[in-house]
């Protein structure tokens, strides 16, 4: 299979068909029709074997995650995703692997109405870069820095599941075989980007970001972007029944704070509007949990049972943290 056959077979019609794609895969570049009155929203993320996922990770999961991490960035902006391009570096053209990868990518793209409109395919160590393009009505994007002192800080879904799932799949945590363990692994392999919630939060949330590096690392970034501090009650972090079943409370907390692979959203919302946002989350069958608030100042205080608490140093997850460090 040469490069052209590979592109034709796996990527020429991946994802959704969209009427706003004037020209997709096949020419030198894609031609896309951007609606009136919107801002184009662009993001790119790269995942590398041995750094962002273990060597030997399932191809379908890699296809899914390469797009999910980008959809999560759209969600965090309150943007509607529309088009994606895919730069794929492959050690070889393995048809079984490509089938799985294309299925993972396409299923998630179709589910979100995203069309794959172009890309690049080269030989080399397994690396997947996806660029996503979407849009928001002008002025309605959710930014990190929009929060005010007194705003409620809340997170979607449950935290720590994907961290535990990764530990289960690398053998660092042993609870194999149980339904709970399988669900945690699924949460790592096939995270659900909160795109619909991000769109629903437009005009209600004052700030948002996706938790891609773990709450302990990411929440201070949202606070700092608004020139604020924050307080968080660690006892309130939403922990799933599956995670409780497989790990101690201390270990569950460590993953909830330190592992970022859940791709949940962190939002700030004025206290008078929290109920409205929670109702929107319920309509989407999604939990929204208040965990703290933004405060004046520049420090983030974590408390557990009323006492000050120091989150475990990110790096808890040795495989991922240690190896994603870039030293220059």
**By the criterion CB under 5 A, which residues form the site for Mg ion?**
120
Regarding 228 and contact with ligand ADP (CB under 6 A), the answer is no
The one segment of 119-127, 131-139, 167-175, 180-188 that binds ligand ADP by CB under 6 A: 119-127
Are 139 and 202 contacting, i.e. CB atoms less than 8 angstroms apart?
no
Q: Whole-angstrom Cα distance, residue 30 to residue 85?
A: 9
Strand partners for 38 = 137
Regarding 86 and contact with ligand ADP (CB under 6 A), the answer is yes
Regarding 11 and contact with ligand ADP (CB under 6 A), the answer is yes
Regarding 36 and contact with ligand ADP (CB under 6 A), the answer is no
Regarding 155 and contact with ligand ADP (CB under 6 A), the answer is no
Regarding 88 and contact with ligand ADP (CB under 6 A), the answer is yes
Q: Whole-angstrom Cα distance, residue 160 to residue 255?
A: 4
Nearest residue to Mg ion, by Cβ distance, number only: 120
Q: Which of left, alpha, beta for 3 (phi over 0: left; psi -120 to 50: alpha)?
A: alpha
User: Which tokens sit at 223?
Assistant: 């606070």
Regarding 26 and contact with ligand ADP (CB under 6 A), the answer is yes
Min CB(17)–ligand ADP separation in Å: 15
Query: Of Mg ion, ligand ADP, none, which one sits near residue 116, judging by CB under 5 to 8 A according to partner kind?
Result: ligand ADP
The one segment of 31-39, 115-123, 177-185, 209-217 that binds ligand ADP by CB under 6 A: 115-123
Which is nearer to ligand ADP, 118 or 198 (by Cβ)?
118
Regarding 28 and contact with ligand ADP (CB under 6 A), the answer is yes
Which is nearer to Mg ion, 102 or 228 (by Cβ)?
102
Regarding 27 and contact with ligand ADP (CB under 6 A), the answer is yes
From candidates 21, 25, 71, 164, binder to ligand ADP by CB under 6 A: 25
From candidates 100, 104, 118, 165, binder to ligand ADP by CB under 6 A: 118
From candidates 46, 107, 110, 121, binder to ligand ADP by CB under 6 A: 121
Regarding 22 and contact with ligand ADP (CB under 6 A), the answer is no
Query: Of ligand ADP, Mg ion, none, which one sits near residue 11, judging by CB under 5 to 8 A according to partner kind?
Result: ligand ADP
From candidates 5, 22, 94, 120, binder to ligand ADP by CB under 6 A: 120
Are 226 and 245 contacting, i.e. CB atoms less than 8 angstroms apart?
no
Would you call 101 exposed, middle or buried from its count of C-beta atoms within 10 A (0-12, 13-18, 19+)?
Answer: buried
Regarding 7 and contact with ligand ADP (CB under 6 A), the answer is yes
Q: Which residues bind ligand ADP (CB under 6 A)?
A: 7, 11, 25-28, 86, 88, 116, 118-121
């Amino acid at each position: 299979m040469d490069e052209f056959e590979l592109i034709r077979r796996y990527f020429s019609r991946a994802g959704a068909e969209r009427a706003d794609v004037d020209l997709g895969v096949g020419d030198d570049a894609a031609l896309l029709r951007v609606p009136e009155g919107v801002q184009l929203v662009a993001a790119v993320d790269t995942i590398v074997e041995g750094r962002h996922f273990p060597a030997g990770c399932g191809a379908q999961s890699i296809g899914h995650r390469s797009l999910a991490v980008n959809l999560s960035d759209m969600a965090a902006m309150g943007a509607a995703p529309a088009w994606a391009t895919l730069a794929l570096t492959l050690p070889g053209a393995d048809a079984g692997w490509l089938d799985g990868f294309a299925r993972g990518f396409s299923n998630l793209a179709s589910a979100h109405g995203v069309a794959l409109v172009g890309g690049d395919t080269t030989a080399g160590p397994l690396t997947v870069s996806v660029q996503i393009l979407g849009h928001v009505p002008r002025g309605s994007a959710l930014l990190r820095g929009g929060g005010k002192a007194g705003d409620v800080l809340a997170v979607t879904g449950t935290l720590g599941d994907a961290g535990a799932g990764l530990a289960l799949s690398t053998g660092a945590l042993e609870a194999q075989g149980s339904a709970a363990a399988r669900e945690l692994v699924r949460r790592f392999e096939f995270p659900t980007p909160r795109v619909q919630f991000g769109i629903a939060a437009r005009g209600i949330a004052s700030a948002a970001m996706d938790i891609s590096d773990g709450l302990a690392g990411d929440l201070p970034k949202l606070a700092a972007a608004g020139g604020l501090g924050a307080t968080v009650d660690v006892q309130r972090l939403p922990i799933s029944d599956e995670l409780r079943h497989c790990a101690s409370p201390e270990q569950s907390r460590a993953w909830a704070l330190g592992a970022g692979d859940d791709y949940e959203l962190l939002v700030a919302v004025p206290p008078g509007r929290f109920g409205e946002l929670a109702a929107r989350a319920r309509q989407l069958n999604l939990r929204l949990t208040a965990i703290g608030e933004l405060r004046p100042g520049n420090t983030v205080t974590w408390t557990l049972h009323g006492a000050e608490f120091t989150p475990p140093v990110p790096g808890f997850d040795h495989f991922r943290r240690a190896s994603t460090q870039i030293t220059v």
